[in-house]
Homo-oligomer: A and B are copies of this chain.
Amino acid sequence: MKIEILCTGDEILTGKTVNTNYSHIARRLADTGLDVHWGTTVGDDRASLLQAFRQAGDRADAVIVNGGLGPTVDDLSQEVAAEACGVPLVLSDYWMERMTQSYARRGRVMPANNKKQAMLPANAEFIDNPIGTACGFAVTIGRARFLFTPGVPREMRRMLDEQVIPRLLALGGIRGVTKLKRFHTFGIGESRADEMLSGIEAFKQEGGIKLGFQAHYPQLETKLAVRGADEADLQRQLAPVEAEVRKRLGNFIIAEDEQTLEGVIMGKLREAGQTLSIVESFTGGNIAARLAPLVGAEAVFKRGVITREVSGETSPEDAAASAANLKAESGSSHALAVLMQLDEGADRPEFGATICIGIADDRGRVSRQARLIGGRDWVRVGAAELGLDCLRRHLLGLPVDERIDFERRDPPPSA
């Protein structure tokens, strides 16, 4: 089955917005065993849209259209879809009612121009958008089924998983089931992970389990895409491979599937009835911001402190002492300190920092030091992850001082 993605909108066409919707859609399709064959980007322009719909309708079996479903005059997807189908636009009373109610629930009156969002091609199949006012729909143009989704990422993502992908699988007559098993690691790069997993027999079999990686610094995602006749077949294929991957990637696995590093930490603390405080400097609230919003954090997260006062050099002992002080002050059972000493001078690819991490709990203190380089943002993001990973390792009884790939152990240039 030939699937295309057609992205609309001047902000995407002009490069003002980087097209992450495209890459999200393409990756999600690949995860479920569907391949994207062609991508098109056009602006909020009637003639281009019509031509793009017609050409894609000639080439493809299915086309996911993203964007152009908003309430303003430059949102043209419904109008042009109707034109391509040779049908009029008709008002969906159902969607008008849904939008009106949605506004009413929030105590607001729906603006008049939102009516445009309920105008669908007369022949359209309705595709639900449970969290927005942009209504999805499907029509056939040429030989392809076109599925229309909104440009707002959270709406698109939900509709893609719940509405679009099931329709594509049905269209393609794809039976069997697929599963994507994911491992999230911190501290190993893609090539090293590839080496660590080399020679696993199951990856060599045609049509068996497909291994893939996706690096999004500072984490690496290792993906096992499996296709099977049914759930039992999936499990049978996956279980031994999963166990082998877990063994090989070992302590570097911070989370699996939908889990997150911060979620694992929060779960562990909550389970044990423990509480946490955090003091951080250059990470500027980013560590606390990973934990504080989590469900149940109210009972666990006691206090966060962001400090900019860096008094000369810092050491792992300083960090451990800061953690112990904060633990005492806040009354939390655990405290994490992530302090940093930044290189001098302007931002540059070699800009680095020495990161000192301290953890205090009822049994005492642990600490770790690491040097990261790669520019201010790179270092900030890496330091937040390293701090959280040390806490995870400590909570799980793993070594906190295992060397990571991003780390340099040579002294900073100023030393």
Interface size class of A (residues with CB under 8 A): 35 or more
B285:A114 contact, CB within 8 angstroms: no
A190 / chain B contacts, CB cutoff of 8 Å: 70-72
CB contacts under 8 Å to B, within A155-200, are: 180, 189-192, 194-195
- One of A36-44, A140-148, A227-235, A246-254 contacting the partner: A36-44
**Please, what's the 1-or-0 string for A363-405, where 1 marks a CB less than 8 Å from any CB in chain B?**
0000000000110110010000000000000000000000001
Q: A11 at the A/B interface (Cβ < 8 Å)?
A: yes
Assess the A349–B131 pair: CB atoms within 8 A.
yes
- Count the copies: 2
Q: Taking beta carbons and an 8 Å cutoff, which residues of A are in contact with B?
A: 7, 10-11, 13-20, 22-27, 30, 35-44, 48, 51-52, 55, 59, 70-74, 105-108, 111, 113-114, 131, 152, 180, 189-192, 194-195, 212-215, 225, 278, 282-289, 291-293, 295, 297-298, 301-310, 347, 349-350, 373-374, 376-377, 380, 405, 408-410
Q: Is the CB of A195 within 8 A of B26?
A: no
Which B residues are CB-close (under 8 A) to A286? Answer: 285, 289
- Chain B residues with CB under 8 Å of A38's CB are 13, 40-42, 48, 52
Identify whether the interface residues of A are mostly helix, strand, loop, or mixed. mixed
Listed by A's residue number, 13 A-B pairs whose Cβ atoms lie within 8 Å are A10-B225, A13-B26, A14-B180, A18-B18, A18-B23, A39-B40, A285-B285, A285-B288, A295-B376, A302-B309, A303-B306, A303-B308, A305-B305
